[in-house]
Each structure stands twice: as C-alpha cells, then as structure tokens.
Amino acid sequence: MIIVLKNNDQNTIAELQEHFGNTHEVFVHNNRVAVQGIKEADLSASERAAATDIITNVPKAVQGSREFHPEDTVIRTKHSVIGGDNFTMMAGPCSVESEEHIAKMAAVAKANGATILRGGAFKPRTSPYSFQGLGEDGLKFMRKAADEYHMDMLTEVMDDEHVKMVAKYADIFQIGARNMQNFSLLKTVGKTNVPVMLKRGMSATVDDVLNASEYIAAGGNHNIMIVERGIRTFDNKYTRNTMDVGVVPVLQKLTHYPVIIDPSHASGHTEFVTPLALAGVAAGASGLVVEIHDDPEHAFSDGPQALKPNEFKELSDKAFAIRELLSTGMPVEQAEAGR
C-alpha cells in the first residue's frame, strides 16, 4: 500500500515509520510512503487523515514502480546523464581484446556520440571452453581508455567476488541476461552505490525484470537501468533473438528507471542492428548500447553482430536525429546544430 501525503509532512512519515518499521518493509520517496503487506484498516486515524491518497493496487516491486516514484529516475555519472529527457549512447567491443584495441574503440565510440564505453573483461560464455575474457588486465586497459576519451566505463560483473574488484575500475556495472535472476549477485550490487545496467533475461517477463531490479533497490541502490536485448521465441533462424520493442513503452509506464535498447544481441547480425536500434529509439528508449569492432571477422567474441566504425556512425546519426525529432519537434538540422 502507498500512502500519499502532503509535501513535507515529515511528522506523518515519522509516525508511519515508527508504527510499521519494525514489522513491515517501509519505503519513503518524497511525500509517498510504501508499507508492504498492510491494509487501510491498519492505519491509525491520524495517518488516514494525513493521506491525500491511498494506493492499494501496488506491484511487489514497489520501489521501482511509478505509483511510488512518479518522476523519471535520472542517473548522473561523471560524463553522462541517463534517463528523463536525455538520450545516451553506449558503445564498445564485446570483449576487451588489448590495451590498444580498447583505446581505438573508445575513440570511435566517442567520436560518434557515445559517452559510455562498454566492454567485457569477464565473459559469460555458453561453453566453458570458449574465451573467458582478459580478467583484471582487461579492466585496467578499459579504465585507461575511458579516461583518455573522457567516457564512463561499463562492464559486466559475474559474481560476488567480481563486484569488489570491478568496483575499483568501473563506473557502471552490467548484470548480464543469464544472471538476471542470480539473486545473490543482485543483492551484492544493491549494497554498492555504483549504477547498474540490468539486462532482461531471455525469457524474463516484464514482471520478472521489475522484480529483479527490486532486489537491487532493496539494498539501497536506486541507480538502475533496464535493458531489452531480445527474447527467445519460436523463430531464431534469421535473428539471434526477437527484440521486444513493445517493452519500451510498457516499462516506461510501469517504472521510472531508464530503458535502454541493445540491438546487437537482439539481432546477432550486423545487417539488422541499425534498423533495430532505430526502432528502439522511435519507441522511446532512453539510450542504446551497441557493439562495435574495427575488424569483426577477427573479434574475440560476437564478431557477427559488431558494427564497423562507419556503420556505427550511420546508426548514431540517425538515432540522434529520430530522438530529436520526437522530443523537440524541431526540424532535424536545427536540432543537430544545437547538439
């Protein structure tokens, strides 16, 4: 249940916390107090009197809900602002391959509007005998490249021990699709204050991903992004996954966290990455995370879905243009001039 109070009614907030805090989960956001598992009859007369509204139909993932937190979450990192009216480009190679290579990719990403550098140092591969990433060396190379190009660094954490090590280098943690319901890991990153990019599992429902994000929020970390990266359906002959573009407006209705599109994993094939990216932008996504590589055929992993620098430039130009068209109503050239 969510009790909506007048602004700055700190007295009732304190009263509710004292009343329910020892026996129930109590969350406060501005003038809204969520208390899990109570009924209206459980409120005292003064608590009821102070309420301007009482919302009873509340999802389990209450902290992530619009009912509890109506305004958009906006995440601020050193070089980026994510969510709200902003549009954020993230790009980089699937794996960190060498100190030189990640720097080269950072240059390409930055030159085309990306403010966040993505790359994997620990890779969750389907087979134990596939390349598993450069490990901590990869993190160091990536940090250096990000610093050189004034970008934020986004990389995946795969288990509790990684979290400590990766936290020394990264600006944003990624939780991969296969770990979306690794609740131990979610709890661990929830106890940090590092922003988290949570990828929707390949068969996760909308409710599943919202509940997974709530594990992070429950620990106190509210800097969360949710990523659509394609789901599993009956047809994967021509694309690796099926991008569920409809989840963008659905999630934006239900939650205040920024919604990001990963067109690379959704398609799995270079030639379809740009149309999927633009579809995501047109549907209203707050950003894109795109895999790029200067020599995809020799990439250490996921080469077939990596865009070459010139392809990424084309994607980025069109993505920003569509975003500006939708958000400003301004003619594109003007908007571009102001970019």
Using CB under 8 A, which residues numbered 270 to 289 contact a second copy? 271-272, 275-276, 278-284
What number of chain residues touch a second copy (CB under 8 A)? Answer: 76
Query: Which residues touch 34 (CB under 8 Å, ≥6 apart)?
Result: 1, 2, 3, 25, 26, 27, 28, 58, 62, 63, 68
- Determine if 310 is a binding residue for a second copy (CB under 8 A): no
Residue 31 CB neighbour total at 10 angstroms: 17
Among 243, 260, 292, 306, binds a second copy (CB under 8 A): 243
Given the complex with a second copy, which of 146 and 306 has the nearer CB atom? 306
> Residue 20: which of 31, 58, 2, 151 has the closest Cα?
2
- Determine if 266 is a binding residue for a second copy (CB under 8 A): yes
Given the complex with a second copy, which of 297 and 329 has the nearer CB atom? 329
Among 117, 170, 248, 306, binds a second copy (CB under 8 A): 248
What is the Cα–Cα distance from 268 to 305, expressed in whole angstroms?
5
Residue 185 CB neighbour total at 10 angstroms: 22
- Determine if 250 is a binding residue for a second copy (CB under 8 A): yes
Q: Binding to a second copy (CB under 8 A): which residues in 36-55?
A: 36
Buried b (16+ CB within 10 A) or exposed e, 42-79: ebeeebeebbeeebeeebebbbbbebbbeebbebebeb
Q: How far is the CB of 278 from a second copy (least distance, A)?
A: 4
Judge contact between 101 and 93, C-beta under 8 A.
yes
Q: How far is the CB of 52 from a second copy (least distance, A)?
A: 25
Q: Per-residue string for binding with a second copy, 183-202, x by CB under 8 A?
A: xxx-x-------------xx
Residue 133 structure tokens: 């990433």
- Determine if 182 is a binding residue for a second copy (CB under 8 A): yes
Q: Per-residue string for binding with a second copy, 79-118, x by CB under 8 A?
A: ----------------------------------------
